[in-house]
């Protein structure tokens, strides 16, 4: 097991350095089609979680600049209001709305979903962008490990509860979930709250992000007939407030080599704009192209029964119902 973990870490480090940094983005962008990003989406309703800073802010800004009505889901009201005002001023789009919700709380998510359903607003794009890497074990007031609560349970609950509003815009509806290259170092595990062994924030984050990719595949198969597309993506290694706070040594080590938030958000926005005929539901995307979900010889592939078990646990923990 030690050698396997060492190989995963080494393969991830080499692959990441060559592809996930700013230089990787510059190289890959040489093959981008500029027309892909000139598409306007006036009249479309988009939800972006974690929209007040970093990649979430850049995503909300990018969608607003293309005419979308954007619902910015933020935990902090004051920071959310400041971000909304900045985007309105920069884009001239006044169709931005702040929705205050703590993605670590099931009760908060259910309250948000209830309020939003009352608006009866059809949703064209749900961007599950909010994420967290907490290095120490923190337990929420509802009894869940904090990373898991935000990255997995929150993402799952938000998606499941928004399905009725997404169905209203089929066949164009889509869900975009922001994963991480860190998932390459982790196989699926049913130890969702890191109950076994010494807790590691980065390892738990990687586990969470692997689950998000598997959930995207699961959703694509389960809800494909509902006319909703499901896509996971990786933004690359970007210099964001979250990275600086959670991984200070990583941020310092790669100073000047990390992507901007806008570069990290590029594929999120691209996925929101493209005709669904160009995309593969259940796919994992990086720099505007479908990417592998596993690195060679890393033994991270798991059977379908694992994600089925995880979904059963999430439904039991969250008592989610549509």
Q: Which residues are catalytic?
A: 205
| CA 227 – CA 177 distance, rounded (Å) | 17
| CA 87 – CA 146 distance, rounded (Å) | 29
- Would you give the DSSP letter of residue 75? S
Task: Note whether 140 and 104 are within 8 A (CB).
Answer: yes
Question: Would residue 319 be called left, alpha or beta, if left means φ above 0 and alpha means ψ between -120 and 50 degrees?
Answer: left
- H-helix or E-strand containing 267? helix 261-273
Edge-to-edge, what's the strand order for the sheet holding 289-290? Answer: 96-100, 69-74, 45-49, 125-128, 174-178, 229-234, 284-286, 289-290
- Enumerate helices (H) and strands (E) in the chain, giving the number of each: 12, 8
Whats the size of the chain, residue-wise?
A: 322
Task: Note whether 103 and 130 are within 8 A (CB).
Answer: yes
DSSP-derived secondary structure for 104-159: T-HHHHHHHHHHHHHHT---SEEEE------SS--B-TTS-BHHHIIIIIIHHHHH
- H-helix or E-strand containing 47? strand 45-49
| CA 84 – CA 36 distance, rounded (Å) | 25
DSSP-derived secondary structure for 158-201: HHHHHHHHHHTTTTS-EEEEE--GGGGG----S-TT--SSS--H
């Amino acid at each position: 097991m030690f050698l396997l973990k060492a190989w995963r870490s080494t393969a991830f480090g080499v692959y990441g350095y060559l592809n996930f940094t700013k230089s990787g983005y510059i190289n890959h962008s040489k093959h981008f089609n500029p027309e892909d990003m000139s598409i306007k989406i006036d009249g479309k309703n988009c939800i972006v979680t974690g929209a007040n800073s970093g990649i979430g802010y850049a995503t909300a800004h990018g969608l607003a600049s293309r005419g979308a009505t954007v619902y910015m889901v933020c935990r902090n009201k004051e920071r959310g209001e400041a971000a909304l005002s900045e985007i309105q001023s920069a884009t001239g789009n006044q169709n931005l709305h702040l929705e205050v919700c703590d993605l670590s709380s099931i009760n908060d998510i259910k309250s948000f979903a209830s309020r939003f359903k009352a608006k009866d607003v059809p949703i064209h794009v749900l961007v599950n962008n909010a994420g967290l890497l907490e290095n120490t074990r923190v337990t929420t007031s509802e009894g869940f490990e904090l990373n898991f609560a935000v990255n997995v349970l929150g993402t799952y609950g938000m998606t499941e509860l928004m399905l009725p509003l997404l169905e209203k815009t089929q066949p164009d509806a889509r869900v975009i979930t922001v994963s991480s290259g860190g998932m390459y170092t982790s196989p699926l595990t049913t130890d969702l709250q890191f109950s076994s062994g010494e807790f590691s924030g980065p390892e738990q984050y990687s586990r969470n992000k692997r689950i998000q990719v598997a959930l995207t595949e699961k959703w694509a198969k389960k809800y494909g007939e509902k006319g909703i597309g499901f896509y996971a993506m990786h933004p690359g290694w970007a210099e964001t407030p979250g990275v600086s706070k959670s991984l200070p040594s990583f941020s310092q080590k790669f100073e000047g080599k990390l992507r901007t938030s806008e570069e990290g958000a590029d594929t999120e926005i691209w996925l929101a704009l493209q005709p669904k005929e160009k995309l593969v539901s259940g796919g994992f995307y990086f720099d505007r192209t479908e990417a592998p979900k596993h690195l060679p010889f890393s033994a991270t592939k798991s059977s379908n029964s694992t994600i089925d078990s995880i979904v059963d646990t999430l439904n039991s923990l969250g008592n989610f119902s549509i």
